[in-house]
């Protein structure tokens, strides 16, 4: 069984209104495309911007809190879970949904909604993308500590977007590792291979409660080749031939065979805005995976995710 550990469902209104791509994906489209690549199951969570932000502000390229009392991600989490459990249940049973959250804004209100949703719809983990919404992930150790307590209570892991770009003060891989070190009874996955930062990858390998995923792998390899600042600089970078994304994936899986998880980041295996045009396809991402030896492929596309989720019986995935 091949499991894609990193996928978004729904609509990102901020991206749509500002001409960025991609901006949407629904459950049938994801499953149809993923099956063509030989994928059997998908971890899913909502898009990043949400209706807790003012829509007029989004049109101007700004993410300002709405004034109508909307709770961050309340609509988006429930909308996704309804799509999975009620609109398309035959496809929904192929997914492992995660709820998304803002670690800083209105944590008490978010937790009330998450508890209500968890009682109604099973979800298997928690997702944070703090960069786009400019919400410091270190808030988990302060104002957002209740999210860590919620995760511990229901045995839910986190998948957290990671960055190494100096201007990204909200979701540094090193900050996520600080949270993980301070919370040994909660499990964490750092997304995007820690942007190939060798020091952070080695720290993930050393901590018993951390993993990393390789989502959007090919465009991160492209970023190295293009000299973009969203990946680790050469002095800190995992050594590999970034002109060959398949070889990079093999080298990462070989170096971290119990810690790396494969994910596509669909539909964000491509990213296009006013400054960047980084393009890949789901087929390209799965081609890198299928080129791995059988033992590594099973580890990164199955075993390690089940370890993060603490699922010991594969029948539970049915």
DSSP 83-152: IIIIISHHHHTTEEEEEE--SSSSHHHHHHHHHHHHHHS---EEEE-HHHHT--GGGGGTTTHHHHHHHH
CATH code of the domain containing 27: 3.20.20.140
Spell 115-131 as b/e; 16+ CB within 10 A means b. Answer: eebbeebebbbbbbbbb
Q: How many CB atoms lie within 10 A of CB 100?
A: 24
Q: What is the pLDDT along the chain (318 residues), one digit of tens a residue?
A: 999 999 999 999 999 999 999 999 999 999 999 999 999 999 999 999 999 999 999 999 999 988 888 899 999 999 999 999 999 999 999 999 999 999 999 999 999 999 999 999 999 999 999 999 999 999 999 999 999 999 999 999 999 999 999 999 999 999 999 999 999 999 999 999 999 999 999 999 999 999 999 999 999 999 999 999 999 999 999 999 999 999 999 999 999 999 999 999 999 999 999 888 999 999 999 999 999 999 999 999 999 999 999 987 666 666
Eight-class DSSP state of 256: S
CA-based end-to-end distance of the chain = 11
User: Cα-atom radius of gyration of the chain, to the nearest Å?
Assistant: 18
pLDDT at 67: 86
Number of domains composing the chain: 1
**310 dihedral zone (left: phi>0; alpha: psi -120 to 50; beta):** left
E-strand stretches of the chain: 3-11, 24-25, 41-46, 95-100, 125-128, 158-160, 188-190, 210-213, 260-261, 271-272, 277-278
Q: And the tokens for 225?
A: 């080749």
Domain containing residue 81: 3-317
pLDDT at 275: 86
pLDDT at 69: 83
**pTM, 2 dp:** 0.96
């Amino acid at each position: 069984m091949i499991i894609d550990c990193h996928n978004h469902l729904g609509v990102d209104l901020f991206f749509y209104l500002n001409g960025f791509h991609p901006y949407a994906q629904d459950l049938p489209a994801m499953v149809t495309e993923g099956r063509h690549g030989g994928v059997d199951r998908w971890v899913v969570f909502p898009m990043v911007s949400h209706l807790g932000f003012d829509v007029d502000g989004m049109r101007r390229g700004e993410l300002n809190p709405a004034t109508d009392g909307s709770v961050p991600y309340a609509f988006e989490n429930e909308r996704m879970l309804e799509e999975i459990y009620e609109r398309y249940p035959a496809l929904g049973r192929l997914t492992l949904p995660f709820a998304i959250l803002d670690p800083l804004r209105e944590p008490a209100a978010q937790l009330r909604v998450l508890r209500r949703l968890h009682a109604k719809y099973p979800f298997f983990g928690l997702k944070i993308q703090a960069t786009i919404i400019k919400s410091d992930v270190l808030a988990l150790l302060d104002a957002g500590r209740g999210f860590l307590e919620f995760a511990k209570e229901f045995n839910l892991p986190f998948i957290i977007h990671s960055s190494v770009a100096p201007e990204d003060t909200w979701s540094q891989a090193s900050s996520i590792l600080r949270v993980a070190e301070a919370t040994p009874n909660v499990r964490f996955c750092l997304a995007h291979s820690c942007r190939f930062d060798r020091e952070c990858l080695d720290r993930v390998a050393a901590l018993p409660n951390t993993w990393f995923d390789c989502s959007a792998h090919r465009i991160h390899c492209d970023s190295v080749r293009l000299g973009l600042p969203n990946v680790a600089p050469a002095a800190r970078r995992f050594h590999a031939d970034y002109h060959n994304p398949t070889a990079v994936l093999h080298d990462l899986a070989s170096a971290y065979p119990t810690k790396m998880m494969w994910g596509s980041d669909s539909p964000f295996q491509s990213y296009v805005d006013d400054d960047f045009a980084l393009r890949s396809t789901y087929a390209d991402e799965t081609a890198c995976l299928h080129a791995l030896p059988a033992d590594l492929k099973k580890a990164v596309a199955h075993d390690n995710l089940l370890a993060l989720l603490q699922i010991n019986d594969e029948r539970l995935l049915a």
